[in-house]
Amino acid sequence: MRVLVTGASGFIGGVVCRRALECGYEVSSLVRRLGSEPPGTVPLVADLGPSGGLGDAVAQAQPDCVVHLAAEIASQRDARKVAEVNVGGTRRLLDACQALAEAPREAGTERRPGPATEAGTERRPTPPRFIFSSTVVTGDAHGALLTEESALPVETPYGRSKQECERMVLDSGLPAVVVRPSHVYGPGGWYAEELVPRLRQPGRLAVIGSGGNLWDVVHVEDVAAAILLAISAPAASGRVFHVADDEPITFYDFMALTASELGVGPPRRIPAAVARLVAGRNAVDAVVRSARSSNERIKRELGWEPRFPTAREGVPDAIARLVAVSAAS
């Protein structure tokens, strides 16, 4: 199977590419510059913009499945940029996938063979599968348990963009799956680049607000495992799946657990109003939300089981990997 991954050089993308290669898939990675692609993947230089060469990249990759991870994240303060990249970029990627399914191509090429439709041309037997990485972190649920049938509270530009993309993906006519991770942690991304450095600073001002809000967290390895299941399970088409570990944890306890594994003192709190002045409202609102996410559907329908069922197992693994990388460098 040929898999094209957008956002391949990102935190989740690198793990997804590694796991896909381990499954024996041919993996193409959509990247902005050569050299940033994960090892073992075929790089395709393009981006989600209107002149980013996206259509050509998809046509070159000829994927059986597209895993769409690239996006502007919640900390982006420019709402127009969030909409342009997340919504506009997803629309362009869907258009490229639909064009790939419809376009005739010359017979006898190295591309995957299909039934002849005209003399010297052939068409793909099926359109590419489309796995969209959304989020359940769209707004404050005030501690409620969120299932796939729940109406998510949507309060940020990032959350609105992801919900709009979900509608486009599921209405596209492609065999599509929506995966909604909760707060994703591991040896990279915001966890390694923002949270851990804050805890290592002398002041350790890392907890925004009281820290009593519930966090639905999930290890990046478990998110990648869910995406690989969505790739391989035909029955998943048209479905939405929440990906979170088995137990929510308070924001403060998650930070304190990380601090303990780092061997530093407990985190200190900073008022949310002060944090908003520094980091922006959207980023802070994503942190202080309180919610629990049910993983019952993905367990039942796809057989997913988290390798790290709670943060108590996952955080030590994440910190151990970060320490190992630091020691190696």
How do residues 124-153 score in pLDDT, each as one tens digit? 557 899 999 999 999 999 999 999 999 999
d(C-alpha 243, C-alpha 132), whole Å:
13
pLDDT at 84 over 60: yes
pLDDT at 321 over 90: yes
Q: What is the mean pLDDT of residues 49-53?
A: 88
pLDDT digits (tens, 9 = 90+) for 111-126: 443 333 344 445 555 7
Burial class (CB in 10 A: 0-12, 13-18, 19+), 215: buried
pLDDT band at 101 (very low <50, low <70, confident <90, very high): confident
Burial class (CB in 10 A: 0-12, 13-18, 19+), 230: buried
**Average of per-residue pLDDT values in the chain:** 91
pLDDT at 310 over 60: yes
In order of their start, the domains of the chain are: 2-324 (3.40.50.720)
DSSP string, 157-213: HHHHHHHHHHHHHHTSSS-EEEEEE-EEESSSHHIIIIIHHHHHSSS-EEEETTS-S
Q: What is the mean pLDDT of residues 250-265?
A: 97
The share of the chain scoring above pLDDT 70, in percent, equals: 93
Res 100: pLDDT? 87
Decide which of 77 and 196 is more confident: 196
Burial class (CB in 10 A: 0-12, 13-18, 19+), 14: buried
Decide which of 82 and 225 is more confident: 225
Lowest-confidence region among 62-71, 214-223, 281-290: 281-290
Res 329: pLDDT? 74
Q: What is the mean pLDDT of residues 190-209?
A: 93
pLDDT band at 21 (very low <50, low <70, confident <90, very high): very high
Amino acid at residue number 239: R
d(C-alpha 100, C-alpha 58), whole Å:
8
Q: What is the mean pLDDT of residues 14-31?
A: 98
